[in-house]
Structure 1
Amino acid sequence: MSYRATLDFLLYDWLAADTLVARERFADHSRETFDSVLDTCERLARDKFAPFNRRADTEEPWFDGQKVHLPESSHAAAAAYAETGMLAAAQDYEVGGMQLPCVVQMAANSFFSKAGIGVGGAAMLTSGNANLLMVHGTRLQQEVFARNEFAGRFSGTMCLSEPQAGSSLSDITTRATPDGTDFERDPLGPRYRLRGNKMWISNGEHELTENIVHLVLAKIPGPDGRLIPGTRGISLFIVPKWLVDTQGQLTGERNDVALAGLNHKLGYRGIPNTLLNFGEGRFPVRPESADGSTGAGAIGYLVGRPHEGLACMFHMMNEARIAVGLGATMLGYAGYEASLDYAKARPQGRPVGPGGKDPTAPQVPIIRHADVKRMLLAQKAYCEGALALELYCARLVDELRTGPAEGAADVALLLDVLTPVAKSWPSEWCLEANSLAIQVHGGYGYTRDFPVEQYWRDNRLNMIHEGTHGIQALDLLGRKVVMQGGRGLELVVARMRESADRARAVPALERHAAALDDAVRQLVAATRAAWATGVPDEALANATPYLQAFGHVAIAWMWLNVAIRSAALLDGATDADADARRGRLAACAYFFAYELPRIGAWLGVVASRDATCRTMQESWF
């Protein structure tokens, strides 16, 4: 069963993406135009990305003191991707977009993540950067920066973390001060001077595009010159690598943004990861104020209102989190495909018959051994289940943007609750799929003769960036499931129970429906028990097991929905289609038999507010 066939099933047979053309925004499209986009991206990923995935891994970015070098294949891939228009795929025609549904855009981008996630630059960041500006930027900021990012002339980053603060954004110290008395009158926005250091900036320095648009979180000092503690004082700024005029043309003057170093990573090596210094004086920018009193620091233009930068940045962060989940899914899927091919071709061992093994019989492909089937089934269940979740979330985005207004608030809340799960579950379990892919290959999987070791290394990043696993867990249990009096959790639970009710009408799925109902009951009870005392320290000590359990219940829900549709289409299917649908039903059965029972142990420590980790003393280690 090809990946494209799986994608088509999820898009059209399950999520009915082709029915979106009945909505005004997508009226110019059809199933044929959607397929054309998918065909183009599949072909480009195959021709420009996949052949150079290993090169991007082995030829790491390097800095010669003046610029960062990347393989020529990365330059060619970045240019080819920009030419497709996919950077602005979901945007309005007026800004060069295609007005594609988000779910189709995500499906199309999945080909690139699977073919070479480190090849051709981080398009996800550029698109997310520009999308943020289209919501929170001024009209001129959109024209000058966002539109040039959509066109591929500029690329974009997000600059949040600092060496001394890491994920604790409340502790950032990058400072932004008004650039003289005329700072409010700059047509590109209120102009500030930024000084500070940022860490873990993907694509922070390169030559893939004419310019790099950094979105930087910094604090504006109060009247006493001190920074406001916590996140309240954080503002957001556009800090371009090269200064531009109001037409988006480079002025030739370099902004004071300097590369401090490259991080040398376990995987994901094709994308340079940088430390950046803002305003250190390496590229001093001439004073712009009337009295010439200021001039130290990188020039940045305020986005939105002062002290509301984190709220603006969450627009990009949430988009990036779903994209990270998709990337993790596709790396897992690439490993699954590689190990499936290997298992079909590798002869080893003999089946056990009624009288034991016959040493004179020919060896059989390892896919005939039950334990290899177990490992392949696990990978299929993880990766296709995760893909269903990512596309479901993208479909919610389309519903939020173009669906009935009266249901928009509930859709937004549902998406809020699912976002930390969509980021974290694939990052953990599709990484496990990559580990199983190595195991299927045996000793060969641990060598560079096969690609599965690189997929594991590349995927290991996804539990860390765009909010670590632990942070997503705290967000889910500490905020998402309790906000609005638990309304978001109620919405998820209602949809899960509705799926279970539909599955009861399918004899083969009755047992799974009952299991999902019981899992939902356990999840709701554990959520209430965790917060029974109202003490956050007690409730959140076991947030990560809660995230794991919530994710497993969510994936079981996805698989049950997929199984309902597969069962409905099984009658009258051709041989190939029938095999694919039976394969999905088997993967669903695997997940309910082998995976869903795990939630009991995870939710047990949540419900009891187990204190083992919380009360462990530093000296006892």
Structure 2
Amino acid sequence: MTSSLRPTIDFLLYDWLHADGLNERARFADHSRETFDAVLDTCERIARDKYAPFNRLVDTEEPRFDGEQVILPKATHEAHDAYVASGMLSAAQDYAEGGMQLPYTIEAAAGTFFATASVSIGGGLLTKGNANLLMVHGTELQKEVFARNEFGGRFSGTMALSEPQAGSSLSDITTRATPDGADFESDPLGPRYRLKGNKMWISAGEHELSENIVHLVLAKIPGPDGKLVPGTRGISLFIVPKKLVATDGQLTGERNDVALAGLNHKLGWRGTTNTLLNFGEGKYPVRAGSGGGLDGRGAGAIGYLVGKPGEGLRCMFHMMNEARIGIGLAATALGLAGYYASLDYAKNRPQGRPVGPGGKDASQPQVRIIEHADIKRMLLAQKSYCEGALALLLYCARLVDEQHTGSPEAAEEARLLLEVLTPVAKSWPSEFCLEANSLAIQIHGGYGYTRDFPVEQYWRDNRLNMIHEGTHGIQAADLLGRKVVMEGGKGLALLAARINRTIERALQQPHLAEHANALAQALQKVGAATKAAWATGDPADALANAVPYMQAFGHLVIAWSWLDVLLVQPPTPARAADEGRARAARYFFHYELPRIPAWLRVVETRDTTCATTPEDAF
């Protein structure tokens, strides 16, 4: 861990986003800058003491299954217990729920400390998302029995979407859910079904960190003819606990038919179990009608319907969108961890000599590598990517608070902006903060490629973020295929208006005018490319180059974030941190923003090079 993260977070939260002003709203009236700082202090301390020292340990001592349970290092248990004790699982919940009524902006910022210290140990992302979904879509008893026990740390949660044969194509899932007896609708915990199927890539799907694990499982209910409804229309959502629970929230003592089929051995995030789970294979046969009074034993895992049949994906998007912001923060935090490590190395590693008018003088002492221009280039790139991404993610978190506590007009604007920005907030940091990790390795030279230094682990851990919670390509298709054109393009138009507002303010400050003009040109290019991509009205034409569009769009948004940040600091930097932000922004505008036209060229022309290449050509 390093002390560099906290000043950056403080600046973005208070100087830029004015998060301390949220206490003027009724929900946050009991809070102040002091209470927010106390939360950040606590999380920073836990991350420093319980997470950071064990990041390498949990990478080398991978989870293992002894035939009965998954074994995790003692350090993971202690970190989890410290996180639960901090109250952060329920931080954003009502006082009546045992929460702090903390703004999501502060919760998100606090989570950055844990992800920077050890993303592999984890910080409750899935448990909170699972419980938050149930608080919106669950029945009162489902909230009481499952969600509130998750917020309290007794239970933990997962999301079980993907299947071995389907991957990201959720319309092709085959897990079945059939009514459990004639009285299946009378179970107080919700309509009771039997689930049979296999789920893959389930993070935290099996462990002993909590009393119970609450799986939120997507499955299909067969139609009257016994066949599964094709596509996503037939997908429903079910609560499938690892251990069966009574209506008072206590464990019944009976195991549900959820079995670990295997642990996935991963490139990174090795401290987090990642599992293949079998539902209803018969390893743990459950009494038919558990909770419903029927005799005998049935086939399948007990699951309770959440919401209405066929609306599972709509419910699940509540958790998925929340997780996507969380993954963007995780990617950003890993990028920052690599940046801090490579900065420290560059300040202390002597190598080479400066080039003078007569070339290099070998008789002179070596200089630290931070004195070389190319090392500064790589450090500036990392800083511009990671601090720019952090600004965007905290801005998105601020929009979440606006959506929940702002005026009706402000809440609607926040909703539209989040629709457009969420795929960017997940994917852009996942790509470019991973690139930052690669540059951190490069600065270390050969040492960076060894396990003697942490930067190779940061790269391995970050490589997952382009894949999970919706792959890079899926997010790009969502951005160009849905989000920028939805509701007649209202979200894109609103974002453009916000960017133009920043440009107009920056044009009034001579030292920012060059950046403002460059951003205005980039905004025009992205707008024109969006129209050109959809000129034929054929989604296949538009989406053939969705990823280059995502890259250009993300660069536009990060440049906007940087320019908006610079507007709140003095024209002549008064502190080293101000100078650092000004230089990182300058790097981004001079070295990165010019890449936008190249990315958009294939979008504007609807280039078919990739789409039309025949299989045999490979």
Normalising by structure 2, report the TM-score.
0.98
Q: Secondary structure at the match of 2:188?
A: coil
Q: 1:262-289 deviations in whole A, cap 9, x for unaligned?
A: 1000010000100000000000001126
Q: CA deviation at 1:185?
A: 1.0
Contact 2:115 2:123 survives alignment (8 Å): no
Counterparts of 1:122 and 1:282, CA distance in 2: 31
Contact 1:133 1:146 survives alignment (8 Å): yes
- Cα distance change, pair 371–291 in 1 and its aligned pair in 2 (3 A): closer
Match of 2:184 in 1: 183
Contact 1:329 1:387 survives alignment (8 Å): yes
Counterparts of 2:15 and 2:610, CA distance in 1: 45
Q: CA deviation at 1:475?
A: 0.3
Match of 1:80 in 2: 82
Q: Secondary structure at the match of 2:135?
A: helix
Name which of 408, 429, 437 aligns with 2:411. 408
Percent of residue pairs bearing the same amino acid type: 73
Counterparts of 2:372 and 2:25, CA distance in 1: 49
Match of 1:363 in 2: 366
Structure 2 residue identity aligned to 1:407: A
Any residues of structure 2 matched to 1:322-341 within 5 Å, and which?
322-341=325-344
- Cα distance change, pair 7–181 in 1 and its aligned pair in 2 (3 A): same
Contact 1:122 1:203 survives alignment (8 Å): no
Q: Secondary structure at the match of 1:614?
A: coil
Q: CA deviation at 1:253?
A: 0.1
Q: Secondary structure at the match of 1:251?
A: strand
Counterparts of 1:363 and 1:96, CA distance in 2: 59
2:533 paired with 1:533: no
Match of 1:601 in 2: 598
Q: CA deviation at 1:122?
A: 5.2
Counterparts of 1:50 and 1:193, CA distance in 2: 42
Q: Secondary structure at the match of 1:253?
A: strand
Match of 2:16 in 1: 14
Contact 1:235 1:305 survives alignment (8 Å): yes
2:62 paired with 1:60: yes
Any residues of structure 2 matched to 1:264-343 within 5 Å, and which?
264-288=265-289, 292=295, 295-343=298-346
Structure 1: gaps (5+ residues): none
- Cα distance change, pair 50–322 in 1 and its aligned pair in 2 (3 A): same
Match of 2:118 in 1: 116
Structure 2 residue identity aligned to 1:320: A
Q: Secondary structure at the match of 1:237?
A: strand
Any residues of structure 2 matched to 1:535-614 within 5 Å, and which?
535-567=538-570, 570=572, 573=574, 578-614=575-611
Match of 2:129 in 1: 128
- Cα distance change, pair 214–188 in 1 and its aligned pair in 2 (3 A): same
Match of 1:252 in 2: 253
Contact 1:180 1:294 survives alignment (8 Å): no
Structure 2: gaps (5+ residues): none
Contact 1:212 1:241 survives alignment (8 Å): yes
CA-based RMSD of the aligned residues comes to 1.0
Q: 1:347-404 deviations in whole A, cap 9, x for unaligned?
A: 1111112222221111111000000000000000000000000000000001111111
Q: CA deviation at 1:407?
A: 2.7
Any residues of structure 2 matched to 1:123-202 within 5 Å, and which?
123-202=124-203
Q: CA deviation at 1:291?
A: 6.3
Match of 2:518 in 1: 515
Number of residue pairs the alignment of both structures matches: 614
Q: CA deviation at 1:200?
A: 0.2
Q: 1:478-509 deviations in whole A, cap 9, x for unaligned?
A: 00000111111101111111111111111111
2:389 paired with 1:386: yes
Contact 1:203 1:274 survives alignment (8 Å): yes
Q: CA deviation at 1:566?
A: 2.1
Match of 2:352 in 1: 349
Q: 1:11-47 deviations in whole A, cap 9, x for unaligned?
A: 0000000000000000000000000000000000000
Contact 1:179 1:294 survives alignment (8 Å): no
Name which of 465, 469, 473 aligns with 2:472. 469
Q: Secondary structure at the match of 1:324?
A: helix
Counterparts of 1:201 and 1:547, CA distance in 2: 27
Contact 1:566 1:584 survives alignment (8 Å): no
- Cα distance change, pair 170–462 in 1 and its aligned pair in 2 (3 A): same
Name which of 23, 26, 29 aligns with 1:24. 26
Contact 1:480 1:488 survives alignment (8 Å): yes
Contact 2:204 2:272 survives alignment (8 Å): yes
Counterparts of 2:306 and 2:5, CA distance in 1: 40
Contact 2:93 2:101 survives alignment (8 Å): yes
Q: Secondary structure at the match of 1:177?
A: strand
Q: CA deviation at 1:181?
A: 1.2
